[in-house]
Amino acid sequence: MKYALDTNVIVSILHYFPKVCQKFDEAVEQGDLIIIPPIVHYEMRRGFLYKSAPKKEIAYQILTNRYSIGKMREEVLERAAKIYADLYRKRFTVGDADILIAAFCIINDYTLVTDNTNHFSNIDGLQLMNWNG
């Protein structure tokens, strides 16, 4: 499997939430590909810059040393624009960061691991998984 971790999942890992950590460990043991979407990296970094959490920041740096941060390509931006337009026509609102995360996952064929599956459920073509549910 190919997994992209949402911000809330990384926070759960950094806080050692048992269910999420167990699923993460299982994915690692199975040799699944795990990546951090570039927008998730941005969300994590801005949080660390906003408030001081040096131990969590070091743990996150270790995570990013082991698992790649994805690259934002033009086709991701194009897909994100299409997702936005589709959601807008259906009268659903999703923040730009989440739309970009979804587009990254769709373009790169990643399953998005998130605790917020309801939030992403209206995005066509996005594969979702909840390690906490």
**Burial of 66 per CB tally in 10 Å (0-12, 13-18, 19+):** exposed
Grouped pLDDT means (10 residues each) for the chain, 133 residues: 97 96 97 97 93 90 95 97 96 94 98 94 96 87
Give the CATH number of domain 2-129. 3.40.50.1010
Contacts by 55-58, CB closer than 8 A, 24 or more apart: 56/14, 56/15
Determine the 3-state secondary structure of 69 from DSSP.
strand
Angle between helices 7-14 and 54-66 (to 10 degrees): 120
pTM for the whole structure? 0.94
Contact 114/86 with Cβ under 8 angstroms? Answer: no
